[in-house]
Amino acid sequence: MDKVLIAIYFVAPMVLAGSFSNSGVWTHSWNTALSAQFIDFGYQPLSEAQATFIANHYGIVSLEKCTGNPTEVTVWATAKQLKAINPKLKVLFYWDLDQTALNCYDAYHEYMNHSEWWLRDDRGVVVYNAGKIPMMDYTVAAARDWWVNVPLNGTGAPMAPWIDGVLADGTGGTCPASGINAQRCQNLEEAKSLMVSTLQGLFDSTNNGSVIENGLNFYDSHHNMHTLKDSNGIMAEHFAAFEALYPNSGKLNSSQVAKFIELVGTAANAGKMVVVATWVGQYVKPMVWFGNTQPTTNDGWREAMLQKHTFALAGFLTMAAPNVWMQYEGWYGIAQGACPCPEAPETCMAPTEADWYPDLYKPLGNPLGPAVRAGNVWTRFFEHAKSVLNIDDPDASTVTFF
């Protein structure tokens, strides 16, 4: 079959950073791809060397659940630590709408003392998340108020200059449990939306901060695009991995990947920040490749992270806009790719600072137009680079600089 050339006009590549009307929509420059790096990580405090690396290699960071005990105190302290090194860094507080790992937070105790906040099915039976914590009934105003204020230290105002926003996990989605009638499901979704938009409103009124929802997905036909109205941004967490793989062959589903690229463009053109989360190869589940062929040692992962980075970067550059950001890591633990471990390199999956993804530092320049698709290959030119994303053969993807 002859290949068909298709121009992909879903990005606004000539928009310059700073031209967005909402100052809470953070943009990056086109100087290098390093300017567009985002990272979500956690589970332990940072050494000063790690904090220095992160503060100087990312534009936006999100501090995860169970980062210290209690999480809130460690997140605020880590945000202060990072901001002291780079005051321009944007720091997000990770916060889940479904109470995932809530027991790591001091806020757990207040929540567990308010059983009237817990979700129940139509029989009155409490609905629990996978961690056996009661899920929230979003239609209860007091519960929504509690959730909105936890990242803000219960003050109702952002902890400027430390916390610039929230990475809100679990936005959108389907009805949280079976045994809940359709009208209640709709009421819950509308109340959930209100909770997120209320939090965004607090940031709007104080420090021009942002809520970024972890919501864009392919688990349902709506892709959660309807949640764009609630916040300044959205994360597309599963680029070319997970549900984008054919389960019997491990090959990428080109129509899924193409739809992903289209939706990122739609969200970006709507003036939202978009985080494109890329991974070390085609994951079928966290850190597991099709056929269980993934590395088994940190040395192996370090090599794989360098090798697979080209595909991830080509994917990002295909979709890149000033308000589109790139995440690349093995998983969310600090030792799983967010940064090197200078004191003990062998304990980290990440490359050393000396080896850190050389293409990120090379001059990029403005895009010269949108990506062009030929079959399952997307090509895009920049002032100083050319990216080629190959979905049929991911390792054949290239990013060349000139």
Residue 221 Cα to chain centre, angstroms = 20
CA dist., res. 231 & res. 209, Å (int): 10
Inform me whether the pLDDT recorded for 400 exceeds 80: yes
Q: What per-residue confidence (pLDDT) applies to 381?
A: 98
Q: What per-residue confidence (pLDDT) applies to 185?
A: 95
CA dist., res. 72 & res. 107, Å (int): 8
For the chain, give the secondary structure using H, E and C.
CCCCEEECCCCCCCCCCCCCCCCCCCCCCCCCHHHHEEEEEECCCCCHHHHHHHHHHCCEEEECCCCCCCHHHHHHHHHHHHHHHCCCCEEEEEEECCCCCHHHCCHHHHHHCCHHHECECCCCCECECCCCCECECCCCHHHHHHHHHHHHCCCCCCCCCCCCEEEEECCCCCCCCCCCCHHHHHHHHHHHHHHHHHHHHHHHHHCCCEEEEEEECCCCCCCCHHHHHHCCEEEECCCCCHHHECCCCCCECHHHHHHHHHHHHHHHHCCCEEEEEECCCCEEECCEECCCCCCCCHHHHHHHHHHHHHHHHHHHHHHCCCCEEEEECCCCEHHHCCCCCCCCHHHCCCCCHHHCCHHHHCCCCCECCCCEEECCEEEEEECCEEEEEECCCHHHCEEEEC
Inform me whether the pLDDT recorded for 6 exceeds 90: no
When pLDDT is cut at 50, 70 and 90, the band that residue 156 belongs to is low
Q: Provide the token pair at 210.
A: 């942002």
Q: What per-residue confidence (pLDDT) applies to 201?
A: 95
- Segment 13-38, tens digit of pLDDT: 333 333 466 788 999 999 999 999 99
Q: What per-residue confidence (pLDDT) applies to 132?
A: 94
Radius of gyration of the chain (CA): 21
Inform me whether the pLDDT recorded for 172 exceeds 80: yes
Q: Which domains does the chain have, with CATH numbers?
A: 26-364 (3.20.20.60)
Q: Which of 14, 3, 39, 6 is nearest to 333 (CA)?
A: 39
Q: What per-residue confidence (pLDDT) applies to 15?
A: 35
Q: Provide the token pair at 126.
A: 């409490």
When pLDDT is cut at 50, 70 and 90, the band that residue 8 belongs to is very low
C-alpha pair distances (Å), 15 with each of 173, 303, 333: 31, 36, 34
Q: What per-residue confidence (pLDDT) applies to 110?
A: 97
* Pairwise pLDDT comparison (12 vs 278), residue with the higher score: 278
Q: What per-residue confidence (pLDDT) applies to 10?
A: 40
Q: What per-residue confidence (pLDDT) applies to 157?
A: 67
CA dist., res. 102 & res. 92, Å (int): 17
Average pLDDT of the residues in 294-299 = 95
- What pTM, to 2 d.p., does this model score? 0.93
Assess contact for 159 and 152: CB atoms under 8 A.
yes
Percent of the chain's residues with pLDDT above 90: 84
* Pairwise pLDDT comparison (273 vs 292), residue with the higher score: 273
Average pLDDT of the residues in 372-397 = 98
Percent of the chain's residues with pLDDT above 70: 94
- Segment 176-221, tens digit of pLDDT: 888 999 999 999 999 999 999 999 999 998 888 999 999 898 887 7
Q: To the nearest whole number, what is the mean pLDDT of the chain?
A: 92
Q: What per-residue confidence (pLDDT) applies to 217?
A: 85
- Segment 71-108, tens digit of pLDDT: 999 999 999 999 999 999 999 999 999 999 999 999 99
